[in-house]
């Protein structure tokens, strides 16, 4: 406080930090190490005054001796020397939900990195933010070091977004990149990713597509002025992909990426879907490798806009949190808060939803079959009956004893037609597993 007396024009923003994992500790480090830079750019000294975490004695490489330690996250809300709560505990429910809900009800600001919380409870929290004039910032919830929330809420706010396509999970992108480079299969690469710390011990949320889905519904809400609605999302992960799929996609001039897409259809419905897709090598998304994230958007006046960067980890995520704190510091000086999802809650409507069945385009289908005469003759009538036209057909291998792959690419059709045909093809006597069906993007 003594330094503040020497500079009476400098304000102080006091932070209560809930969570001291990598991101929480990283946030503390940035605020300490870049304090002068932050103060120069905001006219505000941003300091952590209180923290809450599970283990008080753990060495995190930061000096907490001058910071108040509380035993429960909700204890941070009523501390008189806390102006804003930074929530980096994670999880869609309590204690994160109670903390954020209670903070907004008190009229205090919240900065969070918690995409699951917002995906499930975003509308309630947006309403609390508006009712109590309490800012809610969440740049760190999507794509870490890429300022995609700010781009959509501010930089592209004058545009109608027709389509958004994103690689938003670094774990999946690392696995797919490694599969392509090494020719190894999914399970083998996943095991290595876990040993290296790129994947969690339980990787379901990442490889199953749920993490990308949480992020996608937030971007959809900002892009289309609709309520975030995770329940109406179509989600498919990467766990059924094989090294053969990667190779064959390359022969088609494409790479396989886990893409979250939000597209406004001609009838006004919003299609929100997470799925592995064949992405043409000419697309900027095809060149997003390893653990990086990338997002491609189409605005009616700006045209296509593409951003790429690190989407997770201590540094990028903490950097996004501090950027939100800096915005809050400026906001306290000069203006009204922006609505959480770009429009006032009463203007956010439930999006008329579309599903994977409504996706229209070309598809990649891989079948695992017994290599016997007549297999193609069994499959072709099913496709014909569902008005699915074949663009190409490739058989990999020749063996009477081992299963072989048949890969079909289609002309334009619908997801519903492919789903219905796949369900019937799976029942054919020589087909050994449910067909793998991937959209082929034209972006």
| Residue 257 annotated as catalytic | no
Q: Which residue has the higher pLDDT, 16 or 61?
A: 16
Tell whether the model's pLDDT for residue 175 goes beyond 50.
Answer: yes
CATH number of the domain encompassing residue 340:
3.40.50.720
Query: 350-353: long-range contacts at Cβ-Cβ below 8 A with a sequence spacing of 24 or more?
Result: 350/226, 350/227, 350/229, 351/220, 351/224, 351/226, 351/227, 351/229, 351/232, 351/269, 351/270, 351/272, 352/268, 352/269, 352/270, 353/229, 353/232, 353/269, 353/270, 353/271, 353/272
Q: What is the pLDDT of residues 143-155, one digit of tens each?
A: 988 999 999 999 9
218 falls within a domain: yes
Total structural domains within the chain: 3
- 301: alpha, beta or left? (left if phi > 0; alpha if psi -120 to 50): alpha
Model confidence band, residue 10 (pLDDT cutoffs 50, 70, 90): low
216 falls within a domain: yes
Which structural domain range is residue 15 located in?
Answer: 2-147+315-347
352 falls within a domain: no
Structure tokens at 156: 């592209």
> Rounded to an integer, what distance in angstroms lies between the CA atom of residue 232 and that of residue 180?
32
Residue 338: per-residue pLDDT: 72
Q: Where are the beta strands (DSSP E) in 91-171?
A: 109-112, 136-137, 161-167
Closest CA to 293 of 409, 143, 75: 143
Q: Does residue 177 sit in the same domain as residue 139?
A: no
269 falls within a domain: yes
Order of strands, edge to edge, in the sheet holding 136-137? 68-69, 44-52, 11-18, 84-87, 109-112, 136-137
Contact at 8 Å (CB) between 85 and 53?
Answer: no
107 falls within a domain: yes
Q: Where are the beta strands (DSSP E) in 66-224?
A: 68-69, 84-87, 109-112, 136-137, 161-167
Residues 184-206: what's their mean pLDDT?
Answer: 90
Q: Does residue 9 sit in the same domain as residue 115?
A: yes
How do 390-396 and 161-167 pair as beta strands?
A: unpaired
Contact at 8 Å (CB) between 245 and 391?
Answer: no
Q: Does residue 121 sit in the same domain as residue 270?
A: no
Q: Does residue 116 sit in the same domain as residue 254?
A: no
Q: Does residue 158 sit in the same domain as residue 285?
A: yes
* CB-count burial class (<10 Å; 0-12, 13-18, 19+) for 387: exposed
Query: Could you give the percent of the chain with pLDDT greater than 70?
Result: 96
Q: Does residue 336 sit in the same domain as residue 377?
A: no
With tokens 């050994």, the residue in question is 432
88 falls within a domain: yes
Q: Does residue 221 sit in the same domain as residue 370?
A: no
Residue 55: per-residue pLDDT: 86
Residue 4: per-residue pLDDT: 43
Strand partners for 310: 292
Q: Does residue 163 sit in the same domain as residue 233?
A: yes
421 falls within a domain: yes
Structure tokens at 91: 């999880």
Structure tokens at 44: 């505000």
Q: Does residue 134 sit in the same domain as residue 6?
A: yes
Residues 333-345: what's their mean pLDDT?
Answer: 76
Q: Does residue 45 sit in the same domain as residue 90?
A: yes
Q: Does residue 161 sit in the same domain as residue 138?
A: no
Model confidence band, residue 102 (pLDDT cutoffs 50, 70, 90): very high
* Phi, psi (rounded to 5 degrees) for 300: -70, -25
Residue 335: per-residue pLDDT: 65
Q: Does residue 115 sit in the same domain as residue 152?
A: no
User: Of residues 215, 264, 349, 424, which has the active-site annotation?
Assistant: 215
| Least confident stretch, 56-60, 213-217, 405-409 | 56-60
CATH number of the domain encompassing residue 413:
3.30.70.260
Q: What is the pLDDT of residues 351-393, one digit of tens each?
A: 888 899 999 999 999 999 998 888 999 999 999 999 999 999 9
């Amino acid at each position: 406080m003594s330094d503040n007396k020497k500079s009476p024009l400098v304000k102080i923003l006091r932070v209560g930090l809930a969570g001291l994992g990598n991101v929480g500790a990283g946030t503390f480090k940035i605020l300490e190490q870049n304090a002068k830079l932050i103060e120069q750019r905001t006219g505000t000294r941003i300091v952590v005054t209180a923290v809450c975490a599970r283990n008080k004695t753990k060495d995190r490489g930061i000096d907490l001796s001058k910071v108040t330690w509380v035993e429960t996250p909700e204890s941070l809300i009523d501390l008189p020397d806390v102006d804003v709560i930074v929530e980096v505990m994670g999880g869609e429910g309590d204690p994160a939900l109670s903390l954020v809900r209670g903070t907004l009800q008190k009229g205090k600001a919240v900065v969070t990195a918690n995409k699951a919380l917002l995906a499930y409870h975003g509308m309630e929290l947006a309403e609390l933010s508006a009712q109590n004039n309490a800012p809610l910032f969440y740049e760190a919830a999507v794509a870490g070091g890429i300022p995609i929330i700010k781009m959509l809420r501010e930089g592209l706010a004058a545009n109608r977004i027709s389509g958004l396509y994103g690689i938003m999970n670094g774990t999946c992108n690392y696995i797919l990149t490694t599969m392509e480079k090494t020719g190894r299969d999914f399970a083998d690469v996943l095991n290595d990713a876990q040993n290296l710390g790129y994947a969690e011990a339980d990787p379901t949320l990442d490889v199953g597509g749920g993490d990308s889905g949480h992020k996608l519904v937030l971007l959809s809400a900002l892009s289309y002025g609709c309520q975030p609605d995770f329940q109406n999302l179509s989600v498919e992960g990467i766990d059924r992909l094989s090294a053969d799929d990667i190779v064959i996609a390359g022969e088609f001039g494409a790479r396989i990426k886990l893409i979250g897409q939000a597209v406004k259809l001609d009838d006004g419905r919003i299609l929100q879907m997470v799925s592995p897709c064949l992405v043409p090598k000419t697309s900027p998304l095809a060149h997003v490798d390893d653990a990086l994230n990338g997002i491609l958007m189409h605005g009616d006046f700006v045209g296509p806009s593409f951003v790429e960067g690190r989407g997770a980890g201590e540094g990028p995520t903490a950097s996004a949190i501090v950027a939100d704190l800096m915005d809050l510091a400026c906001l306290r000086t000069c203006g009204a808060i922006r609505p959480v999802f770009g429009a006032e809650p009463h203007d956010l409507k439930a999006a008329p939803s579309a599903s994977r069945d409504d996706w229209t385009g070309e598809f990649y289908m891989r079948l695992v079959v017994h290599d016997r005469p007549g297999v193609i003759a069994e499959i072709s009538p099913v496709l014909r009956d569902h008005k699915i036209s074949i663009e190409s057909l490739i058989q990999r291998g020749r063996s009477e004893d081992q299963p072989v792959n048949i890969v079909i690419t289609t002309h334009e059709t619908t997801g519903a037609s492919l789903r219905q045909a796949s369900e019937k093809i799976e029942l054919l006597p020589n087909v050994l597993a449910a067909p793998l069906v991937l959209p082929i993007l034209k972006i």
